[in-house]
Structure 1
Amino acid sequence: MEPEKQLEILKKNVVDLVSEEELLDKLKRKKQLRVKLGVDPSRPDLHLGHAVVLFKLREFQELGHRVVLIIGDFTAQIGDPSGRDSTRPMLSEEEVKKNAQTYAEQAFKILDREKTELRFNSEWLARMSFVDVIKLAAKYTVARMLERDDFAKRYRENVPISIAEFLYPLAQAQDSVVVEADVELGGTDQYFNLLVGRHIQQQVGQEPQIVMTMPIIEGTDGKLKMSKSYGNYIAFNDPANEMFGKLMSIPDWLITKYMKLLTKIPVEEIEEYEKLMNQGKMNPRDVKMRLAFEITKFFHGEEAAREAQEQFIKVFSKRELPEEMPIVHLDMDQCELVELLVKLNVVSSRSEAKRLIQQGGVKLDGEKVIDIHAKITLDRERILRVGKRQFFKLVRG
């Protein structure tokens, strides 16, 4: 494909591009670019927030370029300070290794395995001597580091900043040097780190990488960025029914944003949906149903997506749920089902609660729960049904 046409495709939905002219020049000079993404396995699951960048990488692959996916098994032990207002606790080597095991396989749900070079940055960072670290640190100044928004804010407010946090962007930059990245992608919170990569590459005589950032999506609460820490995430490994249900719970204003960043629905169609919803001519729930179906289909296949859709319609249909039901506010992320049944006074004891569960008398979001040790995750609104006539709406907070 002509470089100009490639550029047009690759620019779609991008927030920062440093620079468009340089990227076009690289596309003209190089048949295949090395496009880097680094992910730290600080948690065991990838979620749709990660998918935004991974889908852009897939576009590069479809245009014939090679993705270099770096699992930050070394940098995860330092902790990325991006967007943090305090020093992040360091992870142990054991925690990182456990999380890293699942990251690659999850990423390949989106990336083409054959066009991906998988690397772990402990391969080079763990081998650096103290002299090597000093030489790397000498290539960047404290003044430049303090230009970074989160560092500047913490410095002004006299909030501690560890030297290890200053080393993080340099370690990420060293990744770019080692793999000779032509382009590096990340979320908008990675903009500073990616620019440091450009600087260090220039310092060692390499051609600087193109910096490309993608939007950060809000989670199911519609307020905070999607994160497992905030309990508002939708994981790649969520079961189809759960994924569909979580997507149906997002605020209406996020529908078209998710569509643009996480599906292949044509832009013209998305804009038409937006116009009809704004005019009150289309129910946002119907558009959200299309969104939930498309994303669930991508991760679980069309049959599973259709079943999840049917299950959702069945469970949340007004014909099957009472129009009014008690709302139970719970100030926890998870609760034991047995404990909850006792708390709601629908049983007189824990043993009665266990019998009721084993007999199939308890349903959560329309599905029978038969595990007496089951825990309810309150990452979205849940419907608890006890027997035939008792319904409770469970909400967090």
Structure 2
Amino acid sequence: MTLNPQPSSRDIEYLLKRGVSLVEKEADMRRLLLEGNKGEPLRVKLGVDPTHYDLTIGHAVVFRKLRQFQRLGHKTVVVIGDWTARLGDPSGRVEARKALTAEQVNSNAATYLDQFFKIVDREKTEVRRQTEWFDKFTLADTLKLLGYKTVAQMLVREDFSNRYKSGTEIYLSEFMYPLLQGYDSVALRSDVELGGTDQTFNLLVGRELQPIFGQSPQQIMTLNLIVGLDGVKKMGKSLDNYIAMTAPANDMFGKLMSLPDQTMRSYFEALTDVEDEELDEFDRKISEGSINPRDIKLRMAREIVTEFHSLADAQEAQEAFVRQFSERKLPTDIPDYQLDAPKNIVEVIVSAGLAASNNKARELIKQGGVSLFAKGESGESEKITDSEFTVDVINGAILKVGKRQYLRIKA
């Protein structure tokens, strides 16, 4: 594999600035992007712990940046953390993350890569597993690796520091995580490593370890993380504020439209290729009141849905959204729910998969998020406020749960 012709300054600027929080040594990174590593493509590393079978669009932020490197002719090296996932990474957490079994890791990894390669070019990617080198590690190797960091240095990391101050337990195995991730960079001789802002400490450990093993220190790039549907906290499954990468186009579009207006710029930058100049124009028009923010959000949702589906799917999702919410019409693709006898509303919601648990269903009802159209599309809705409500067998009645979920009762 050879390096592509010299990239333009605009290409490099876009790579280094768009959605980027930090480039540790920007001048060195620019030089490498212009010259490569002795004329060879850079090895751009991403370490992933397959802790779940499903990914969120938040994961795609880093994947898209990897694709930008690939388009300039560089090589992606993705490391499956089949060792570190069994330890659990506390990054950004107030407590230890549950460790996984080898079987869980392997199962999740297969699905993870399927979604990963929907964005990143498979032909320009090298897939490696930590077991390739850590299965050969002896106790002596492990102790030697531990000797490169002190407890005081580890406690500099914000999440460790906060847990220590609050009296929350920190397990010694958790101190191993940054060192193992850092050693991955040594094993792969990576030139650049990417990660979210919550991974800065771990990426720096790799940069510090490489010179000890006679290698040039990797450049590190951290990317701004997008907030979840609450508009406040980082998108994540544990907070239930996420949009799945595999979500249907209509569902993805509707959830994107529910985001607070102030999140639009970050979503545009992280998940679309809309030029910065056009984004600046959007900001100006919103500020002076010459455009409805909803119109900008429609554009944002259409661009992002196109990334994960297709332009045709995105346009169809937009039409469905406008029809449903602007014209106050119900969607045309409401799924049927077979009801043979009257059933409690909470049971209906959970058994239909519209809430993860009875408590979640009750919370939706309490918040006024559940309504019943007893006469179907032709009738008015009745808000259900009692979790003891019984859903009668009324053929064609429609149940609305939350902002976008519907069921049609079938006797």
- Which TM-score applies when normalising by structure 1? 0.83
2:388 and 2:326 mapped to 1: Cα distance? Answer: 27
Report the equivalent of 2:319.
Answer: 310
Displacement, 1:126? 3.2
1:349 and 1:212 mapped to 2: Cα distance? Answer: 54
- The amino acid that maps onto 1:10 is L
Report the equivalent of 2:16.
Answer: 11
Report the equivalent of 2:340.
Answer: none
Report the equivalent of 1:324.
Answer: none
Is residue 2:397 matched to residue 1:361?
Answer: yes
- The amino acid that maps onto 2:149 is Y
Aligned match of 1:259 in 264, 268, 276? 268
**1:4–1:24: 8 Å Cα contact kept in structure 2?**
no
The C-alpha deviation readout for 1:258-284, integer Å capped at 9, x for no partner, is 011110111111111111112221111
Aligned match of 2:286 in 269, 277, 291? 277
- The amino acid that maps onto 1:14 is V
Aligned match of 1:142 in 132, 138, 151? 151
Is residue 2:60 matched to residue 1:24?
Answer: no
1:297 and 1:245 mapped to 2: Cα distance? Answer: 14
1:346 and 1:197 mapped to 2: Cα distance? Answer: 53
The C-alpha deviation readout for 1:74-103, integer Å capped at 9, x for no partner, is 211111111111122212223222211200
Counterparts of residues 1-397 of structure 1 (less than 5 Å): 1-2=5-6, 5=9, 6-12=11-17, 13-27=19-33, 28-30=35-37, 31=39, 32-320=41-329, 333-334=355-356, 352-353=392-393, 356=394, 359-362=395-398, 364=400, 381-382=403-404, 384=406
1:119 match: secondary structure:
strand
Displacement, 1:360? 4.2
Where does structure 2 lack aligned partners over 5 or more consecutive residues? 331-344, 373-383
**2:7–2:72: 8 Å Cα contact kept in structure 1?**
no
1:382 and 1:75 mapped to 2: Cα distance? Answer: 38
Displacement, 1:124? 2.1
- The amino acid that maps onto 2:50 is P
1:61 and 1:288 mapped to 2: Cα distance? Answer: 29
1:256 and 1:189 mapped to 2: Cα distance? Answer: 20
Displacement, 1:7? 3.4
Q: What percentage of residue pairs aligned between the two structures are identical? A: 45
Displacement, 1:125? 2.1
2:58 match: secondary structure:
helix
- The amino acid that maps onto 1:24 is R
- The amino acid that maps onto 1:15 is S
The C-alpha deviation readout for 1:260-309, integer Å capped at 9, x for no partner, is 11101111111111111122211111111111111111111111111111
The C-alpha deviation readout for 1:218-264, integer Å capped at 9, x for no partner, is 01110110001111111110111111111111101001110111101
Displacement, 1:317? 2.2
| Alignment CA distance shift 1:341-1:22 (3 Å) | closer
The C-alpha deviation readout for 1:302-349, integer Å capped at 9, x for no partner, is 11111111111111124437xxxxxx9999953579x97897689985
- The amino acid that maps onto 1:91 is L
2:321 and 2:399 mapped to 1: Cα distance? Answer: 14
Alignment length (residue pairs): 361
- The amino acid that maps onto 1:287 is I
Q: Is 143-152 or 285-294 further displaced after alignment?
A: 143-152
1:347 and 1:79 mapped to 2: Cα distance? Answer: 41
2:329 and 2:322 mapped to 1: Cα distance? Answer: 10
| Alignment CA distance shift 1:194-1:316 (3 Å) | same
**1:7–1:24: 8 Å Cα contact kept in structure 2?**
yes
| Alignment CA distance shift 1:383-1:34 (3 Å) | closer
1:196 and 1:346 mapped to 2: Cα distance? Answer: 52
